[in-house]
Each structure stands twice: as structure tokens, then as C-alpha cells.
């Protein structure tokens, strides 16, 4: 556990040094969401109805932006080989990368979702369900993104392959997350959809790091 925490601290320090990646993801998130009222008009009923889908899609796309550097920099300078030789399992290295990605990208996106929902005229009583779905949803997206980044590591045009791999896997998360906010606006309980999101996260938590670790070992061999 001490080695894992040290690895996580290393990833967080590197993320702070490259804070432009997090800033770029946040700016993309805010700008992409802000374009929708300009495209479909400022009508509060229309914006409020489609706000969960807008926020979820933009958050998913913004979370993909920093994934190119998740393993790429370590792979190029040889740090990844040293990490794999440190005695820490490859799955633990991938998990530390996923946690660092969520803390530096997913958590800021989660914090920025509330003011954007207000801007899109989302009813106040529906915002907690939206944020409650984004919490496990962004965690799952970080795990899936780590898996995709590990699989395409070292491949030609990996930046093009990465979204093509991650986006289909993230489709259930997108559906359940947007539906959780929609059901609250319709007077129903969001609990079934939130439980499904939690179930997806529970399945991704052990499986994604294991698969990502196998991808890392294949990339360095």
C-alpha cells in the first residue's frame, strides 16, 4: 500500500506540473456545453429537458482529452519500464493512473457540472440526481479511459484509436447517468439507475486495471 500511495503521489505531482491538460479539459467542457444554447435557442423548457444528455456527452468527451499522456510520456522516456520493475503489479500501476486521472480531471468536471446545469435551466431538484450519477460515472470513465490508453499504447495513431475504443464501452454509463436525471424531473426515483451505475463501477474497478496491466506488459515487451 505504501508503494501504491507513493505511485499515486507521483502521478498527482506530474499532473500538477502539466496542469494545462486539466485546464484544457475543463475549458472544453464549459465551451462545448455553452454552444448548445446558441445552437438550439435559449428556451428554458427545451434546455432543461436535454441538459443531462448535454452535460454527460460533453463530460465524456472532455475526459478523453488527457488520456493521450496517461501512459505515453512514461512509455517514451522509459519510466514505464522502471515502474513495472519496481515490484508493483501492473494492475496497481494502472489503478494509480486511473485514480490520478479522476482526481485531476473527473473531479473538476463533476464540480463544474452543477453551474452548467443551472445555466441550462435544469430544475434545482433534479441537479442532485445529475451529480449523483456523475460521481460513479466519472470514476467509471477514468477506469475505461485507462484501459483504452493501455491497450493502444505504442500503436500507430493511438490517439485516433483511443476514442473509438472507449466510447462504445462508455455507452451504458452515458445511458444510465442521463436517465437518472431524467427520471427525477419526471417525478420518479433515480435510485434504479444510480444502482446500475454503481454496479458498472463495481465491475470496472477490478476488471479494467487487470486488463490495462496486461496491455502495459504487452506494450513494453
- Work out the pLDDT band at 5, boundaries 50, 70, 90: confident
Q: What is the DSSP letter of 221?
A: -
- Work out the pLDDT band at 206, boundaries 50, 70, 90: very high
Q: Give the angle subtended at the CA of 41 by the CAs of 38 and 43, to the nearest 5°.
A: 135
pLDDT of amino acid 209:
93
- Express each pLDDT in 54-74 by its tens digit: 999 999 999 998 888 788 777
Phi-psi region of 154 (alpha: psi -120 to 50; beta: other; left: phi over 0): left
In contact, 83 and 93? CB cutoff 8 Å: yes
Separation between Cα atoms, residue 28 and residue 61, nearest integer Å: 9
* pTM higher than 0.75: yes
Amino acid at each position: 500500500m505504501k508503494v501504491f500511495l507513493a505511485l499515486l503521489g507521483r502521478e498527482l505531482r506530474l499532473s500538477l506540473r502539466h496542469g494545462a491538460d486539466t485546464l484544457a479539459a475543463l475549458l472544453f467542457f464549459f465551451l462545448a456545453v455553452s454552444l448548445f444554447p446558441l445552437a438550439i435557442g435559449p428556451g428554458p423548457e427545451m434546455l432543461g429537458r436535454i441538459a443531462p444528455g448535454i452535460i454527460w456527452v460533453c463530460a465524456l468527451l472532455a475526459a478523453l482529452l488527457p488520456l493521450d499522456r496517461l501512459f505515453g510520456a512514461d512509455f517514451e522516456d522509459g519510466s514505464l519500464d522502471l515502474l513495472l520493475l519496481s515490484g508493483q503489479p501492473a494492475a496497481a500501476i494502472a489503478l494509480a493512473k486511473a485514480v490520478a486521472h479522476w482526481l485531476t480531471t473527473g473531479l473538476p468536471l463533476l464540480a463544474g457540472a452543477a453551474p452548467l446545469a443551472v445555466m441550462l435551466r435544469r430544475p434545482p431538484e433534479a441537479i442532485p440526481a445529475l451529480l449523483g450519477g456523475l460521481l460513479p460515472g466519472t470514476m467509471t470513465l477514468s477506469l475505461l479511459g485507462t484501459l483504452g490508453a493501455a491497450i493502444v499504447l505504442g500503436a500507430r495513431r493511438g490517439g485516433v484509436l483511443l476514442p473509438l475504443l472507449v466510447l462504445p464501452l462508455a455507452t451504458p454509463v452515458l445511458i444510465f447517468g442521463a436517465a437518472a436525471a431524467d427520471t427525477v424531473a419526471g417525478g420518479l426515483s433515480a435510485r434504479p439507475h444510480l444502482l446500475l451505475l454503481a454496479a458498472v463501477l463495481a465491475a470496472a474497478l477490478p476488471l479494467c486495471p487487470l486488463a490495462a496491466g496486461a496491455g502495459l506488459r504487452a506494450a513494453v515487451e
